[in-house]
Amino acid sequence: MSLISALNAARSGMSTSSRWADTVSTNIANANNASYARRETQITTNAQGAAQISEITRAVDSALDGLYRTEVSRTATQDAIATGLAGYTALLGDTESTDTMLTRLTDFQNALGLLSVSPADTGLQRATVADAQELAQALNRAGGALDAAMGRAEEGIVSDVAAVNDRLGRIAALSERLASSDGNGEASLSVRDALGAELDALAEYMDVTTRTDGYGRMEVFTSGGTALLTGGRPETLRFDAESGTLLAGSVDITPGVSGKRGISEGSISGKVALYTTVLPEMQAQLDETARALISGMEAADASLLPGEAGLFTDAGAALTDPVAPGLARRIAVNEAVVPEAGGALWRIRDGVGAVVPGAAGANGQVMDFADALNGSLSFDEARGLGSDVPLSRFMSSLIASQNSTRASAETSAERLAAGAIATQTSRMSFMGVNVDDELQQLAMIQQSYGANAQALSTVSEMIDTLLAAV
């Protein structure tokens, strides 16, 4: 090797060591940055034998990235359902709770039993009416809690959609910056880190896939294949609360809709499922409870004329066919038995439609009321909780089923979150910074720099010696 070649090799080695040191220093500075991918310096030797940096790359594993984001989306789906049901099911209680519509039904049944023994006792009459009112109010509270859950689900969807639109706008801007960069510098690598962080955040809202177009820009699609970001232009997402439809531009991407190329996971998916399926079905079950109670007591009341409301009413009126949604929220005790509303307590003994008091010791109507509640009532099979069963059994099934829906989502969310954490641990071990490794590299860089500096000094002395000898 000539002296000039040796000189160039030493200078190149020192330059390479300097850039390598910069990369290691950047890694150490970002050791606690979760969105930072470790930089790896690729060193090669050129034709003259000099060391040089061919490129600096990010330590990433696309498979782990995709798996982590999938787990995050799946976790967010179940967490949205569990969280959305938490307030309602807490009020609903479980079959072991001491203050639920089931316990209020039991109280009312017990009151009817006592009244049947002493039908002339005005104290027992008042207590029976009060227990009937408390039963209706328990259904009112449950119906109101469901309405509140529906409102929160809608608000959550709108908020999440706005967040997704914001994220897509950021990804579009970063993608344009990436396409216009040199592709190898630190600025380009930082943009890629920022894009990765945005995609991680986007995964909490919806499951997506990505690819790079011919200009180096990132494209984003729903898991079903609908474009969310192409050609540097993001589609605007919006939610139509009336129809329960999620749109990307003009394309329907509503989760759970057969034949649509939409999304299937993420918090938006969970909240849309709540809004369009889970909560409406729970409301239908709760309304069916109220309907059976109203119709059962109407059928048991011999004092009623056709079309007259019975002991329990739909906001003061008799049942209509079909029943408008929200019956549980509207059910109320007939004012005809409420003294404070101009009614008379004795009608709980003689029938709501009675015009004049009957015999003080007559208990036939009270027994009919009790038999109606203790016997089987007809329920809509479509509600999935039985068709001809006692009201108490239907209520028990409702409480157990609806609590099970929330508990199942909660358990799934916990299980999936554990999987996401495990995947993130593997991902971070691959892309994260190990300070000990970086410090070892600094020691190697120091040795390399020192060796090249010594070589440069030696060659310089040899050149000086040769020049002095001329």
pLDDT category of residue 48 using cuts at 50, 70 and 90:
low
* 24 or 265, higher pLDDT: 265
pLDDT at 11 over 80: no
285-295 pLDDT tens trace: 999 999 999 99
- Measured CA to CA, the distance from residue 326 to residue 221 in angstroms comes to 38
pLDDT band at 258 (very low <50, low <70, confident <90, very high): confident
Taking residues 136-156, report their average pLDDT: 96
| In the predicted structure, residue 3 carries a pLDDT above the cut 60 | no
pLDDT at 428: 85
Q: Work out the pLDDT band at 264, boundaries 50, 70, 90.
A: very high
| pLDDT at residue 166 tops 60 | yes
**Please, which pLDDT band fits residue 464 given cuts at 50, 70 and 90?**
low
Strand arrangement, sheet containing 251-252: 237-240, 245-248, 251-252
Nearest CA among 27, 45, 47 for reference residue 37: 27
Res 186: pLDDT:
76
Map residue 368 onto helix, strand or coil: helix
Residue 455, pLDDT above cutoff 70: no
pLDDT, residue 152, reads 97
Please tell me the predicted confidence (pLDDT) of residue 202.
97
CA distances from 320 to 291, 296, 377 (A): 10, 14, 18
Place 10 in a pLDDT band, splitting at 50, 70 and 90.
low
- pLDDT by residue (tens digit) across 347-400? 999 999 999 999 999 999 999 999 999 999 999 999 999 889 999 999 999 999
Q: pLDDT band at residue 95, thresholds of 50, 70 and 90?
A: confident
Q: Which of 151-155, 202-206, 349-353, 457-461 has the lowest mean pLDDT?
A: 457-461
Does 17 score more than 80 pLDDT? no
> Average model confidence (pLDDT) for the chain?
89
* pLDDT for res 134: 97
State the Cα–Cα distance between residues 208 and 73, nearest whole angstrom.
9
Is the pLDDT confidence value at 254 over 80?
Answer: yes
Residue 50 has a pLDDT of 60
Burial string for 169-200 (b: 16+ CB within 10 Å, else e) reads ebbbebbbbbbebeeeeeebbbbbbbbbbbbb
Q: What is the mean pLDDT of residues 450-457?
A: 62
Name the residue among 348, 437, 454, 458 with its Cα closest to residue 27.
437
Confidence class of residue 314 from pLDDT cuts 50, 70 and 90? very high
Confidence category of residue 237, pLDDT binned at 50, 70, 90: very high
Q: Which one of 51-55, 124-128, 461-465 scores highest in mean pLDDT?
A: 124-128
Angle at 212 between CA 209 and CA 215, to 5 degrees: 155
276: pLDDT strictly greater than 70: yes
Whether this model's pTM surpasses 0.85? yes
Q: Is the pLDDT of residue 56 over 80?
A: no
Q: Calculate mean pLDDT across residues 161-172.
A: 96
Average pLDDT in the 319-344 region?
95
% of the chain beyond a pLDDT of 70: 88
Whole-angstrom Cα distance, residue 383 to residue 376? 16
Question: What is the average pLDDT across 130-152?
Answer: 97
Q: Residue 173 contacts by C-beta under 8 Å, 6 or more apart in sequence? A: none
Range with the poorest average pLDDT among 3-17, 189-203, 209-223, 237-251? 3-17
Task: Give percent above pLDDT 90 in the chain.
Answer: 67
How would residue 42 be classed by pLDDT, with cut points 50, 70 and 90? confident
